[in-house]
Structure 1
Amino acid sequence: MTDVYQLSNRLYIIDTYDLKRKGRTASYVLKEDELTIIETSASPSVPHLLNGLSELGLSPDDIKNIIVTHIHLDHAGGAGLLLKHCPNAKVIVHPKGAKHLADPSRLIKGAKAVYGEKFEQLFDPILPIPEDRMVIKHHGETLKLSDSCTLTFYDTPGHSRHHFSIYDSKSKGIFSGDTLGIYYNELKKEKIDFILPSTSPNQFDPDEMLQSTSFIENLDVKEIYFSHFGVCHDPETVYSSIRKWMPIFLQAGEAGFQSITNNDFNAAVQAVEKELKNRISTYLTNIGVPENHKVYEILSVDCQVCAMGLVDYLTKKK
């Protein structure tokens, strides 16, 4: 099963079914003179990506650039596997992420610590990327895809320190990775633009996330292309959502953290997760989202991961 969505005559989304969920993680295809992919998701998603390219009449041989916004496995875990199918492509990565793509042992160790027995099902294999097939892009550097399209890379920490966002000169949109949070496409049918910060471990920093939000806001972008999942045509809603929910997330983190009398990380995560779920579900109920809405399935996953990041952040802070 592969779903492909056309955003314009040169920009497409391929649903990569991360976690085997529809509408979870997007790979973006830019049909320019240099055929370019942004985000690969994890390795189990690569067959969906290849099928999507086939549906678009594109060959992996024609791909010149594979861009990952950051090196978390749901964004870049499949880059090494995809590269094996793309003999003429190079992987473009943030300078702080390149060494981990070349030697993914720490990424694998960290993922196994979080996901345990589910690791192989969710992420395997994670293949190293040869250094001669990587291109590092620093803040403000560009990549020309055609005479009418140039991508500009901006360092946007907050979710992680190895994160850049990519501005597309043609659409005046930005591929935001996780810097501007998660866009819950499940609520689009209700005409609700619902965005929450993504505070996953272990480099989450709320101040940097807010600074990156302001930086992107000052670029005056017209559209935001989320890796999770889809396009928001109202950037102001995105910025205001991050600013609204960040203090709520931190308050939930503090409340849950303080309810634990010892240094039990797992107990703290469970307490923070409960606080997050309560505050988010109260908000959604108040705007008319029923308790049995399918958005709660993925929110349950995200609240757990966000709680881990909040506890990690507060532990380091204290």
Structure 2
Amino acid sequence: MKKPVQPSKNIFLIDDHDLGLEERTGTYVLTARDLTLIETSASPSVPYLLNGLSHLGLSGDDVKYIIVTHIHLDHAGGAGAFLEHCPNAQVIVHPKGMRHLADPSRLLAGAKAVYREKFEALFHPVVPVPNDRLLAKGHGDTLEIDEGCLLTFYDSPGHANHHFSIYHPQANGMFTGDTAGIFYPQLYRKGIELYIPSTSPNQFDPEKMLASISLFRKMNLDCLFFGHYGMSDHPEEAYQQVEDWLERFLQEAKSVFEAEGDLRTQTAVLKNRLFDRLKIFLQARGVQENDPVLELILLDLEISSMGLIDYLTKKI
């Protein structure tokens, strides 16, 4: 298993191997007086989390707070299972997501509709989080994890209504979950920056997403910590690309949606159109047809296409 990397002072990143893929979803470890983790990914990621902590000389006993930016299973599905290894920890979640961690039945139904036959292998088990170990944080609430280190929570809908982002003052950075899009470190190491919006079902709202990005922009952040995947110290580039790609995503989605076809057909056609546009963008920057990152991008676009068609369906 890979060792955690250190993107910033007192902040480490564990690769959760979400969906069995490297650099897909990550857990941030904030080494402070009150050891704090941000995101858990799904339950199959728990061994990677425990191993990553071990590499840092830590264990589940040391964890004080487990923060999930939102309750989608690739970010919070493993919270209950991981909590069983963390006897001293509380799980912090947006107020709108709190009840779904305590009773994940509706969350499971939604995820099964998206992932269908793949669900069990990717996400099982989803363990409820006991009510007495849940803590809600709303917009503007804070959490002191060390002397002089006060995390601040900000509502950041767009990807989901039950989404907050977490500001870290020492890094002058924001843990953005999925609100500010997806970052591909595989490309960044080749000198290519790509940030695309994450528009998965079923609460995607482009206007809210743009408003959340506007909030981040006004804060003059030095860096962004993405749920997918890693840290970028080029926030403005990320904002601009996500805004630009969001416009293109919506244009293509509206074109596909206006054509005949059932939901599954529309989603498949849209995924392929978006993938073609992104391949043109990347090939112009030297990315080869057989680059493994394209498989990861195609997976992301499949889920995002579902959300775009779902959004348009609800607007009728």
TM class by shorter chain equals over 0.9
What one-letter code is carried by the residue in structure 2 that aligns with 1:156? S
What one-letter code is carried by the residue in structure 2 that aligns with 1:268? Q
The answer to whether the Cα contact below 8 Å between 1:145 and 1:151 also exists between their aligned partners in 2 is: yes
The answer to whether the Cα contact below 8 Å between 1:225 and 1:232 also exists between their aligned partners in 2 is: yes
- Give CA deviations for 1:240-282 in whole Å, capped at 9, x if unaligned: 11111111000110122122x24x1111111111211111111
- Residue in 1 that maps onto 2:55: 55
Equivalence map 1:92-107=2 (5 Å): 92-107=92-107
CA distance in 2 between counterparts of 1:131 and 1:215 reads 31
Q: Under a length normalisation based on structure 1, what TM-score does the superposition of the two structures give?
A: 0.97
Q: CA deviation at 1:2?
A: 3.2
What is the aligned counterpart of 2:263 among 262, 265, 286? Answer: 265
Q: Under a length normalisation based on structure 2, what TM-score does the superposition of the two structures give?
A: 0.98
1:281 aligns with 2:279: yes
CA distance in 2 between counterparts of 1:12 and 1:180 reads 20
The answer to whether the Cα contact below 8 Å between 2:158 and 2:204 also exists between their aligned partners in 1 is: yes
- Residue in 1 that maps onto 2:222: 222
Deviates more, 1:8-17 or 1:209-218: 8-17
- Residue in 1 that maps onto 2:132: 132
The answer to whether the Cα contact below 8 Å between 1:186 and 1:294 also exists between their aligned partners in 2 is: no
- Give CA deviations for 1:80-100 in whole Å, capped at 9, x if unaligned: 001010000000000110010
- Residue in 1 that maps onto 2:308: 310
1:195 aligns with 2:195: yes
CA distance in 2 between counterparts of 1:252 and 1:292 reads 25
- Residue in 2 that maps onto 1:301: 299
The answer to whether the Cα contact below 8 Å between 2:3 and 2:55 also exists between their aligned partners in 1 is: no
CA distance in 1 between counterparts of 2:8 and 2:296 reads 28
Q: Percent identity?
A: 52
Q: CA deviation at 1:12?
A: 0.3
- Give CA deviations for 1:40-83 in whole Å, capped at 9, x if unaligned: 00000010000000110002111100000000000000000010
The answer to whether the Cα contact below 8 Å between 1:40 and 1:79 also exists between their aligned partners in 2 is: yes
Q: CA deviation at 1:3?
A: 3.2
The answer to whether the Cα contact below 8 Å between 2:159 and 2:200 also exists between their aligned partners in 1 is: yes
Equivalence map 1:1-318=2 (5 Å): 1-259=1-259, 261-262=260-261, 264-318=262-316
**In angstroms, what is the RMSD of aligned CA positions?**
1.0
Deviates more, 1:208-217 or 1:269-278: 269-278
Structure 2 gaps, min length 5: none
CA distance in 2 between counterparts of 1:13 and 1:42 reads 16
Give the SS at the match of 2:24: coil
The answer to whether the Cα contact below 8 Å between 1:180 and 1:197 also exists between their aligned partners in 2 is: yes
Q: CA deviation at 1:130?
A: 0.9
CA distance in 2 between counterparts of 1:237 and 1:134 reads 36
What one-letter code is carried by the residue in structure 2 that aligns with 1:277? F
What one-letter code is carried by the residue in structure 2 that aligns with 1:235? P
What one-letter code is carried by the residue in structure 2 that aligns with 1:266? R
Detail structure 1 runs of 4+ shifted over 4 Å in the superposition.
none
Give the SS at the match of 1:85: coil
CA distance in 2 between counterparts of 1:242 and 1:76 reads 24
Give the SS at the match of 1:7: strand
